[in-house]
Chains A and B, each alone.
Chain A
Amino acid sequence: MSTNYDLIVIGSGPAGYEGAIYASQLGMKVALVEKEQWLGGTCLNVGCIPAKSMLQSALMYEKAKKFASYGVKIAGADNPELDFPQVNKRRDEIVKTMTNGVGFLMKKNKVDVIRGFGSIVAKGQVEVNADGKKTNYTCKNILIATGSRARHLPHIKVDGKNIVTSEEIWAFDKVPETMAVLGGGVIGCEFASAYGRYGTKVTILEMAEQICPTEDHETAAELTKALKKQNCEVLTSTKTKSIVAKGNKVEVQIEGENSVRTFDKVLLSVGRSPNVENIGLEKVGIKLDERGFIPVDLKTYQTNIAGIYAVGDVLSTPQLAHTGSAEALYAVDIIAGKKRHPINYLTNPAAIYTYPEIASIGHTENQLKKSGRAYKAAKFPFSAVAKARIDDIAEGFVKILVDPKYGEVLGVHIVNTKASEMISEFALGNNLEMTIEELAHTIHPHPTVSEIIKEAAHAAMGHPINM
């Protein structure tokens, strides 16, 4: 293995490994440094992918109960049994297949994978510490893609058994009877939605006025309603005073309540902290911003040090796998000397894989109200779409926020099991600066669930057709 590279990428999450592949495809000699034994980072190993597998099992469990209504009779279908070890096994197999896939892609694209903890020693120099053995590599450029980890709180001791974060929850070998989810954000709601349907009595404790505080208020209200049907109690504007493990239980004291509640498990899901420690930032003079993120120029993703770039969760941009990937490909283009139009984060979609899913892009209605910008809001329900009824996914709506003057689509909020798939049409459209007319005049196949997009666009223009 050579010790001299065009680009060294630190971190093998979606941003890191995709950036490494692309750089190699552009003709650079690339190394990818990873401290863990696996490749693929949080997303593939302890984040998105296993979580979605758990959610899919929950969905199938729910569907099984409804087989009779589809006209499918299966013995015992009235009372299906959840095989939790199999849920975990299937999840682990998917993760293994995918991480192996990343290893294969590295070989295929001639990216050198270097195992060990990578840190920047100087401009153009990365030291990799593998079990105490240190090796130095030189390079023209460095891409920091070290990602993030579950955030801890000083007064809560995560024991990895009964008080867990999203990184330890995978060790559950059975479905807990009760669980408190501290933090009603994306991760908290997804686990609540999965475990609630497995049969756990879940209590979501959220400090803000609504769960998923960055989402539109109507979306959050719809999700709250849905979660309540899935064994979840949702407490908003709520703070906890103490969370203490006592034997096999966890005692949670909620501010304003006299009694102490007892749960089998507590999931701490209060956001994610960037992995910026010990990677040598101070050695080259990169200072963190006031929130602890690495500052970069968003037209290049270069830090204040020439030749050192950063992407993904270490930035203050949205901490989403696809956002990190997009930033990495962008940064590599810049390193390769290509010209790029800056990423417009208002065209960056977000998705939450609860039941039903939530997907959004652009502004929320409250943001527009607050900014004083004129807008028109239109909402179209899935219950008016035939294919959604056929597929038994008629819950939720598409809400479009439109600039009344030019028809610019300012924000889209979808609540539905297919939401994460449908939001891409808006991502493309907004990236091309479509107006509501183009959306309404785009022919959508019938019958489909996604034809609701055309319907919602017509509604936004003031003339809904099928409602």
Chain B
Amino acid sequence: MATQNVLMPQMGESIQEGTLTRWHKKVGDKVQREEILFEISTDKVDTEIPSPASGVLVQILAKENDVVSVNSVVAVIDDAAQPGTIAQAAAPAAAKVSAPAASAPAAQPALDNAKVLASPLARKVAEEHSVDLSKLQGSGEGNKIVKNDVLAALETGKSVSPLVAAAAAAATAPVSKASADHVKSTGGSSEGVIDGVRVSRVPMTGMRKKIADHMVMSKRTSPHVTSVIEIDLQKIVDVRAKFKDKFEAINGFKLTFMPFFLQAVVEAIKAVPVVNSSVDGDAILYKKDINLGCAVALDWGLIVPVIKNSSERSFVGLGRELNNLAEKARNKKLAPDDVRGGTFSISNYGGFGTVIGQPIINQPQVAIFGIGAMQKKPVVINDAIAIRTMCYCVLSFDHRVIDGSDSGKFLSTVKNVLENWNIPVI
């Protein structure tokens, strides 16, 4: 009998864990290679994971809603087992596979707490609530961090994001004041009154928690500066109006404004390569590939699929890949590769009418481009007032490696490409 471990896939270079949201099979079920086995949710992607092998699912090691580290074993498939006979035999099977499960870097939390002097109990509490032990002062013998230090940190919110801290504190306190006195709990949510205000308390989803953590981490890591430029999009509007029907007839998908921006950003990155880098200790890691992450808003959150090798694609190629990825994202069909390897990100908040935004950098990248709403405005051209479609675009950048002059050069390149559009669209 040959067994194969099913691993939690790596969903992106900065992603260490994900929430296993749903099993499509149960122990004892037959499963085909590439058949959808389970679904996961990370801060960047909700996706269905296909089975790596055919056989019978003999063991499930992670329950639904468990947060699982990447590369840890979540299930075992046996190619020789008989379907339906496994349920009772699950225990011995578990014993046999426990060794690889334990040796995989499964139980490692995303935080590197290993080198900190802390009691085993303090570590457990810290692990559950994502507390960074290196940020705490130990009150135990020899300044060892003890359980109470971690609980105190959770209470004060030190070393964890405020959002995580609030959730964690509520989860830790056996009887919190509010829930004991005023809040009626129903399942994971609760209703009640806190400080005279009627409230509904709803636990964050796994995806929400991860977004919160990632955003706080980014703000803590990079000193953000945001520059704004105003761009005249009239030429783009005209080009699009002229070619959109023909474009759709030839290519099979709609011509939106996004490929124009993608193309302009690629040109700007080529002009200012430092925006396509990351910080590596005391060095700057310049990325030779331009992989544009493009945030897509979903009903249940936000994901950032990545257009690989953007600089090598044609205008149509950029548009087609973006269209494919957005479609996959909405249908939860994104593969791990689709969200991996981004080197620069674009956020299009303008679709909801927002004029100017200050997007947060998607770590470990060093800059993010934001597109505001397109609006018709009276503008002065050659000393005359004209009505043009205008838009504010921004660049949030990591001031550790990018200066205002770089940002200015980047934004003006984007402006120049868009205002003087001369790239064929068909």
Contacts and interface: CB of A to CB of B under 8 A. Distances in A.
B301 interface: no
A435 B120 contact: yes
A433 B141 contact: no
B93 interface: no
A433 B119 CA distance: 6
Interface string B116-130: 000111101100100
Contacts of B146: 433
A407 B141 CA distance: 21
Interface in A221-241: none
Contacts of B175: 372
B17 to A, nearest CB: 20
Main secondary structure of the interface of B (DSSP, over half): helix
B120 A434 contact: yes
B124 A435 contact: yes
A427 to B, nearest CB: 14
B156 interface: no
A379 to B, nearest CB: 23
Interface in A415-438: 432-435, 437-438
Nearest to B141: A341
A433 B139 contact: no
Contact of A433 (B121, B128, B174): B121
Nearest to A342: B139
A373 B121 CA distance: 17
26 contacts: A341-B139, A341-B140, A341-B141, A372-B174, A372-B175, A373-B174, A374-B174, A406-B121, A406-B124, A406-B128, A407-B124, A408-B147, A432-B119, A432-B120, A433-B119, A433-B120, A433-B121, A433-B140, A433-B146, A433-B147, A434-B119, A434-B121, A435-B121, A435-B124, A437-B120, A438-B120
Main secondary structure of the interface of A (DSSP, over half): loop
A437 B146 CA distance: 17
B102 to A, nearest CB: 12
A341 B142 CA distance: 8
Given A341-B141, A432-B120, A434-B121, 5 more contacts: A406-B128, A432-B119, A433-B122, A434-B120, A435-B120
A437 B121 CA distance: 10
Contact of A408 (B121, B128, B141, B174): B121
B341 to A, nearest CB: 38
Contacts of B139: 341
Interface string A433-459: 111011000000000000000000000
Interface string A338-373: 000100000000000000000000000000000011
Nearest to B146: A433
Contacts of A437: 120
A127 B175 CA distance: 53
User: Which of B120, B125, B128: most chain A CB closer than 10 A?
Assistant: B120
A52 to B, nearest CB: 31
Interface of B: 119-122, 124-125, 128, 139-141, 146-147, 174-175
Contacts of A438: 120
A435 B122 CA distance: 10
A403 to B, nearest CB: 9
Contacts of B124: 406-407, 435
Contacts of A406: 121, 124-125, 128
A435 B118 CA distance: 13
Nearest to A430: B121
A396 to B, nearest CB: 28
Contacts of A432: 119-120
Contacts of B128: 406
A10 B29 CA distance: 76
Contacts of A372: 174-175
B143 to A, nearest CB: 9
A374 B122 CA distance: 18
Contacts of B125: 406
Contacts of A408: 121, 147
Interface string A401-415: 000001110000000
A121 to B, nearest CB: 37
A32 B124 CA distance: 46
User: Which of A372, A408, A438: most chain B CB closer than 10 A?
Assistant: A408
A462 to B, nearest CB: 12
Nearest to A407: B124
A208 to B, nearest CB: 28
Nearest to A403: B121
User: Which of B121, B122, B147, B175: most chain A CB closer than 10 A?
Assistant: B121
A435 B175 CA distance: 23
A89 B337 CA distance: 85
A373 B141 CA distance: 27
A39 B128 CA distance: 52
Contacts of A341: 139-141
A108 B278 CA distance: 66
User: Which of A432, A433, A434: most chain B CB closer than 10 A?
Assistant: A433
A173 B141 CA distance: 50
A406 B122 CA distance: 9
Contacts of A373: 174
A353 B183 CA distance: 49
User: Which of A372, A435, A437: most chain B CB closer than 10 A?
Assistant: A435
A410 B139 CA distance: 20
A407 B174 CA distance: 16
A407 B119 CA distance: 13
A373 B174 CA distance: 8
Contacts of A407: 121, 124
A434 B125 CA distance: 12
Nearest to A340: B141
B171 to A, nearest CB: 10
Interface in A366-387: 372-374
Contacts of A434: 119-121
Q: Which 6 A-B pairs have the closest CB atoms?
A: A433-B119, A433-B121, A406-B124, A341-B141, A435-B120, A341-B140
A372 to B, nearest CB: 7
A434 B141 CA distance: 14
A148 B245 CA distance: 99
A407 B121 CA distance: 8
A262 to B, nearest CB: 53
User: Which of B119, B128, B175: most chain A CB closer than 10 A?
Assistant: B119
A433 B128 CA distance: 16
A198 to B, nearest CB: 45
Contacts of A433: 119-122, 140, 146-147
B181 to A, nearest CB: 15
Nearest to B171: A405
